[in-house]
Amino acid sequence: GEDVEQSLFLSVREGDSSVINCTYTDSSSTYLYWYKQEPGAGLQLLTYIFSNMDMKQDQRLTVLLNKKDKHLSLRIADTQTGDSAIYFCAEKFGNNNDMRFGAGTRLTVKP
Amino acid sequence: NAGVTQTPKFQVLKTGQSMTLQCAQDMNHEYMSWYRQDPGMGLRLIHYSVGAGITDQGEVPNGYNVSRSTTEDFPLRLLSAAPSQTSVYFCASSYSYSPLNTGELFFGEGSRLTVL
Please judge whether A99 and B103 are an interchain contact, meaning their C-beta atoms are less than 8 angstroms apart: yes
Does the pLDDT at position B17 exceed 90? Answer: yes
pLDDT of residue A1: 47
Q: Which residue does chain A place closest to B106, by CA atoms?
A: A44
User: Cβ of B48 and A98 within 8 Å?
Assistant: yes
Residue A83, SS3? helix
Among A35, A48, A88, beta carbon nearest to B102 = A48
Count of residues for chain B?
A: 116
The CA distance from A110 to A3, in Å, is: 30
Q: Residue ranges of the alpha helices (H) in chain B?
A: none
Q: Cα separation of A62 and A66, whole Å?
A: 13
In which band, very low, low, confident or very high, does the pLDDT at B41 lie, cut at 50, 70 and 90? confident
pLDDT digits (tens, 9 = 90+) for A49-62: 988 889 999 999 99
- Do B102 and A41 lie within an 8 Å CB cutoff? no
Residue of chain B with shortest Cα separation from A92? B103
- CA torsion B44→A91→B24→B39, rounded to 10°? 30
- Cα–Cα distance, B48 to B45 (Å, whole number): 8
* Overall residue count recorded for chain A in this entry: 111
| Neighbouring C-alpha atoms within 13 Å toward the C-beta of B103 | 22
* CA proximity to A43, closest of B91, B12, B113, B1: B91
In chain A, what is the straight-line distance between the N-terminal and C-terminal CA atoms, in Å?
39
Q: What is the mean pLDDT of chain B?
A: 92
Residue type, A109: V
For A36, other C-beta atoms within 10 Å of its C-beta total 18
Q: A98 vs B33: CB contact, 8 Å cut-off?
A: yes
Neighbours of B28 (CB within 10 A): 9
For residue B90, the chain A residues in CB contact (below 8 A) are 42-43
From chain B, the residues in CB contact with A97 under 8 A are 31, 33, 48, 94, 96, 101, 103, 105
Q: What's the mean pLDDT in B30-50?
A: 92
Residue A81 pLDDT: 95
Q: Looking at beta carbons, which residues of chain B come within 8 Å of A35?
A: 105
Burial (CB < 10 A; 0-12, 13-18, 19+), residue B63, is: middle
Amino acid A28: pLDDT: 77
Mean pLDDT, residues B34-59 taken together: 92
pLDDT at B95: 85
Q: Which residues of A43-70 are buried (b: 16+ CB within 10 A; e: fewer)?
A: bebbbbbeeeeeeeeeeeebbbbeeeeb
For residue A64, what are the β-bridge partners? A55, A73
Average pLDDT over residues B40-59: 92
How do residues B66-100 score in pLDDT, each as one tens digit?
999 999 999 999 999 999 999 999 999 998 765 55
* A positions 50-69 inside 8 Å of B (CB): 50
Q: Does B48 touch chain A (CB under 8 A)?
A: yes
CB contact under 8 A, B103 and A97: yes
CB atoms under 10 Å from CB of B27, counted, come to 14
Asked whether residue B54 carries a pLDDT value surpassing 80, the answer given is yes
Beta bridge partners of A57: A62
Test B31 with A97 for CB contact under 8 angstroms: yes
- For chain A, residues with pLDDT lower than 70 are 1-2
Report the alpha-carbon distance of residue B103 to residue A42 in Å, rounded: 17
- Residue contact A101–B43, C-beta within 8 A: yes
Question: What percent of chain B is modeled with pLDDT above 70?
Answer: 95
